[in-house]
Amino acid sequence: MKARLALIYSLIISALFLAWISVPVTTKVLNLVKTDTISKQEKRVLAIKPEFNIQNPDPYPAKYNKYYNDHFPLRQSLANFQTREIRLKLFNRPPDLDGLYVGKDGWLFIGYERDLWEKTKPYTKEDVKLIVQILHKRALAYKAKGIKFYIVAPAMKSEIYPEQNPPFFYRVTDSVMSDLVAAALEKDTVIKFVSGKDISLKYKAKGLLYQITDTHWNDRGAYYTYVGLMDLIHKDFPTVIPLSESQFTYVDSVNSGNMAVQLGLKGFYTEHIPVLRIKNKRAVPGDRTGYVPPPEFTGNTGLEVVRLVNDPDLPKAIIVHDSYGGALRPMLSENFRKSVFLFDGWYYGPNWETIDKEHPEIVILEIYAAHWNHILRWK
Amino acid sequence: MLFTSLIFLYLFLPVTLIVILISNPKFRNPLLLLASLVFYAWAGVSFVSVIIGSILINYLIGLRVGNTASPGSRKFWFILGVTMNILGLVIFKYSDFLLDNLNILTSLFKFHPLHLSNIVLPLGISFFTFRGICYLITVKRNELPPNKNIIDLGLYLSFFPALIAGPIDRYRHIEPQLTRRKINATLFARGVNRIAIGLAKKVIISAPLAYVADHIFSTDIVTINMPLAWLGAFSYMLQIYYDFSGYTDMAIGLGQLFGFQLSENFDFPYISRSIQEFWRRWHMTLSSWLRDYLFLPLAYSTSRKLKRERYIGMRVDNMIYGIAIMITFFICGFWHGAAWNYIVWGVVFGLLLFLEKTWLGKKLRKGPKVIGYVYTLLFVLLAWVIFRSPNLKFAAAFLKIMFGIGGAKIEWIRFTGYADREFLVMAIIAILGCTKLFSLLLQKLKKLMSDSEGIKAAFAFHGYYLFSALFIFFVLTYSTMSMITGTLQPFIYFKF
């Protein structure tokens, strides 16, 4: 009797296992689950089914793997379920993803900041010299056209909040690579440089300056660096006066940062983010200049934003920026009669075409401190 | 294709299983061989020619060895076969290493360095080479006749569950199963259970340990302090066991799905009281292979050459053991990888085994058990540091830091950063799993099922199967979710 029952159990387990592992194939064959071509959560295009090339068959398996993984039924829902309902509840910790690390108390960090901490990658000390040379040359070229060149570098989150870093973010020496670039730029006589790191460290005690679950700073973090930049510009252009804190209202926004969203933790990992609203906004949208973004962003008109202030005494500025510039934009817009914001796809280029068209008095380069190596493409 | 990949578990495996289960038993071996070649091709389509070449060579030379009457001729074909197997391994696995070291030597005499175009290591070559040699030895020793069916031999050499990481089954163990095996529900269910155990070991237990070990061993050595070094070594010690034994469990379980009974490879190695016992319990199919096909022949041939009773004050049997064990473990280390740290790792074990044979072994046997456990665990742990390190320089620095020589400033916050809740839970489960605790509990339950009667027995019986079923599906679900999470590749620049 027991043997018979044991056999029945074995049959049930075997059949269930076979059925279980066959579910994805079955759904695929019967076309039961439609998969997307884009992952909204990961913000990327999913792999397409590769063609088998008899002439060069070796890459096929890896490509097919990627395609299969990307289109696995209920992929995102299952991963999110594990992250939210199992890992977070049991271990109080979401998983690390490729290039995205979990620090203490749920703080999230971009992985490549670690390389800069370890001072090994992505650029060498020789590169540091080259970066400064390139920028110096650019500053001279701008100067020849009567343009003042300012550089502002928002700091890496891991630099401002090292106490929240994952345990493997470890500083080898006192300075990281971005510090070497900053130190060299500070000595440069043509470039006017604002170190977001110095400012953020100075004002850290005033309140949270960065978003816990996002790659970026918050409006408060952006504001203090904005003031630092404006103070510098004010020396050259006395009409430029930074907005004071009393000209803003703070609004508390509860949200999930970009990294929390990518981990599938939207709504689970939330934080209070201070949002600054300018009380008496002067800047209004202006017509785009016709800026042509880099080829990979062709057609994306959101990469150029123009703001106008009806005050002829203010200078005109072109601001080349990355995603950190998003929080600076409303503030900067108030200080120039025309502000042209260019997001040039992390090229951080001189953007001569727009400059020759607009003839600004000021060019501001806002560059996230982990991205100095991007300048090397202009050597 | 890894067993812990979605494509294996949810495409390759169900398709292969269904095809095999519905096919006529006489077509099962050709179909399994085909599946194994597809599995192999997934690591690189061009590598299939390497394994097909190995199958052909071993098949043809095996026939020659088995069908030649003259001992001289048999010996010739046998040596040729073994040489060709080893040559394949040397070309694909060791040529870069050998050439690099040759270039270092020749550079002393100002010779120009030699270069090879990039040779990519074919998957599992160390394993199928050893199986090939095992087959030739079996035929040479007349333990079994040569296999006239190239499909069957090909399946022995390339059977996909054992292709990447063993076990290195003996030909005489598999040969009867090639022609006389049956797939039945009991074995199949046992296989499913074993796969689940393997998945749990690899995906649930080993992964958080690997996370810590990988980070610590990939960090710049100047950032490592003493507590971190011990944590890294300890994590790796558990990780490699759970990773490897988990993979072997899956291999054995997969074999059972297809009616095969592959050999066991681990027997609680971390509860050994000596290094000798450790090697009887760790990667058992490799250590027995090395013992039977390398150590014993070496010891035998050395004993024929050494005629005196003592050499340099050492008894001849110890001398013979010393020579044979050092060569065996030198090769064992080299087999694991073409780098000096693997060689040193092997040599360290050779030395420890020699010490145990000549002096330490007796003391360990006579002393309290706990000393044997601590001694074995400590030296195995230190040896794993050499094994895991990217190079010998790193290993030496790492070991020094473990013993308080050098290293970064001790900051416990970094230690506790790694040893978080998940790590601690998994480490405790892992430590308990290294003992026989779970195994004894299972045995008790099985005894209760068979010995007792009435409600108690029924409860134990149904409880066992229901728990098994729940365990299997929990592990499958959790592992699948973990595999999926591993495929997520967020694009972090999107907010602009």
**Alpha carbon of B163: minimum distance to chain A alpha carbons (Å):** 18
**Alpha carbon of A57: minimum distance to chain B alpha carbons (Å):** 6
Confidence of residue B121 (pLDDT cuts 50, 70, 90): confident
Which tokens hold the place of A284? Answer: 């209004």
- Across the interface, of B418, B485, B495, the residue whose CB is closest to A216 is B495
Distance CA B143, CA B169 (A): 15
> Inter-chain contact A167–B489, Cβ cutoff 8 Å?
no
More confident residue, B234 or A6: B234
Using a CB–CB cutoff of 8 Å, tell me whether B479 touches chain A: no
Distance CA B380, CA B367 (A): 19
Confidence of residue B494 (pLDDT cuts 50, 70, 90): very low
With a cut of 50, say whether residue B132 has pLDDT above it. yes
**Alpha carbon of A170: minimum distance to chain B alpha carbons (Å):** 7
Confidence of residue A116 (pLDDT cuts 50, 70, 90): low
pLDDT tens-place string over residues A127-164: 889 999 999 999 999 999 999 999 999 998 988 998 88
Per-residue model confidence (pLDDT) at position A20:
93
More confident residue, B132 or B107: B132
Nearest to A235 by CA among A150, A153, A311, A319: A150
Q: Respond yes or no on whether the N-terminal peptide bond of residue A312 is cis (omega within 30° of 0).
A: no
With a cut of 80, say whether residue A118 has pLDDT above it. no
Using a CB–CB cutoff of 8 Å, tell me whether A19 touches chain B: no
Q: Where are the beta strands (DSSP E) in B14-169?
A: none
Query: What are the chain B neighbours of A7 within 8 Å (beta carbons)?
Result: 185-186
With a cut of 70, say whether residue B55 has pLDDT above it. yes
Nearest to B379 by CA among B359, B349, B404: B349
> Inter-chain contact B219–A168, Cβ cutoff 8 Å?
yes
More confident residue, B361 or A355: A355
pLDDT tens-place string over residues B259-292: 999 999 999 999 999 999 999 999 999 999 999 9
Query: What are the chain B neighbours of A69 within 8 Å (beta carbons)?
Result: 6-7, 484, 487
> Inter-chain contact B6–A104, Cβ cutoff 8 Å?
no
With a cut of 80, say whether residue B115 has pLDDT above it. no
How many beta-carbon pairs below 8 A join chains A and B? 189
Query: What are the chain A neighbours of B44 within 8 Å (beta carbons)?
Result: 58, 61
**Alpha carbon of A79: minimum distance to chain B alpha carbons (Å):** 5
Confidence of residue B496 (pLDDT cuts 50, 70, 90): very low
More confident residue, B85 or A93: B85
> Inter-chain contact A61–B41, Cβ cutoff 8 Å?
yes
Name the residue of chain A whose CA is nearest to B45's CA.
A58
Phi-psi region of A299 (alpha: psi -120 to 50; beta: other; left: phi over 0): left
Using a CB–CB cutoff of 8 Å, tell me whether B45 touches chain A: yes
More confident residue, B159 or A119: B159
- Across the interface, of A18, A57, A168, the residue whose CB is closest to B17 is A18
First vs last C-alpha separation in chain B: 38
pLDDT tens-place string over residues B145-183: 999 999 999 999 999 999 988 899 999 999 999 998 988
Interface of A with B in 344-363 (CB under 8 A): 346
Confidence of residue A171 (pLDDT cuts 50, 70, 90): low
Question: So which residues of B are the catalytic ones?
Answer: 336
> Inter-chain contact A167–B188, Cβ cutoff 8 Å?
no
> Inter-chain contact A343–B496, Cβ cutoff 8 Å?
yes
> Inter-chain contact B421–A79, Cβ cutoff 8 Å?
no
Query: What are the chain A neighbours of B415 within 8 Å (beta carbons)?
Result: 167
With a cut of 50, say whether residue B85 has pLDDT above it. yes
**Alpha carbon of B431: minimum distance to chain A alpha carbons (Å):** 19
Confidence of residue B318 (pLDDT cuts 50, 70, 90): confident
Nearest to A66 by CA among B202, B6, B199: B6
Residue A288 CB: number of other CB atoms within 10 A? 12
Asked whether the beta carbons of A87 and B203 are under 8 A apart, the reply is no
> Inter-chain contact A16–B473, Cβ cutoff 8 Å?
yes
ipTM computed for the complex: 0.88
Distance CA A297, CA B183 (A): 57
Per-residue model confidence (pLDDT) at position A120:
53
Q: Where are the beta strands (DSSP E) in chain A?
A: 38-39, 44-45, 100-102, 108-110, 148-153, 192-195, 248-255, 271-278, 284-285, 304-308, 316-321, 338-343, 362-366
More confident residue, A64 or A118: A64
Per-residue model confidence (pLDDT) at position A42:
74
Using a CB–CB cutoff of 8 Å, tell me whether B453 touches chain A: no
Which tokens hold the place of B66? Answer: 């088995």
Per-residue model confidence (pLDDT) at position B371:
94
pTM for this model (two decimals): 0.84
Nearest to B38 by CA among B158, B156, B135, B157: B158
> Inter-chain contact A98–B489, Cβ cutoff 8 Å?
yes
Mean pLDDT of B105-121: 79
Residues A210-228 as b/e (b if ≥16 CB within 10 A, e otherwise) read bbbbbbbbbbbbbbbbbbb
**Percent of all residues in chain B with a pLDDT value above 90, rounded to a whole number:** 65
Using a CB–CB cutoff of 8 Å, tell me whether A53 touches chain B: no
Interface of B with A in 318-357 (CB under 8 A): none
Confidence of residue A320 (pLDDT cuts 50, 70, 90): very high
Using a CB–CB cutoff of 8 Å, tell me whether B461 touches chain A: yes
Average pLDDT value for chain B: 90
Name the residue of chain A whose CA is nearest to B2's CA.
A65
Query: What are the chain A neighbours of B418 within 8 Å (beta carbons)?
Result: 167-168
Residue-level length of chain A: 379
Per-residue model confidence (pLDDT) at position A324:
94
Per-residue model confidence (pLDDT) at position B117:
66
**Percent of all residues in chain B with a pLDDT value above 70, rounded to a whole number:** 98
Query: What are the chain A neighbours of B18 within 8 Å (beta carbons)?
Result: 18, 22
Per-residue model confidence (pLDDT) at position B492:
53
Nearest 10 degrees: CA dihedral of A224, A226, A231, A232? Answer: 120
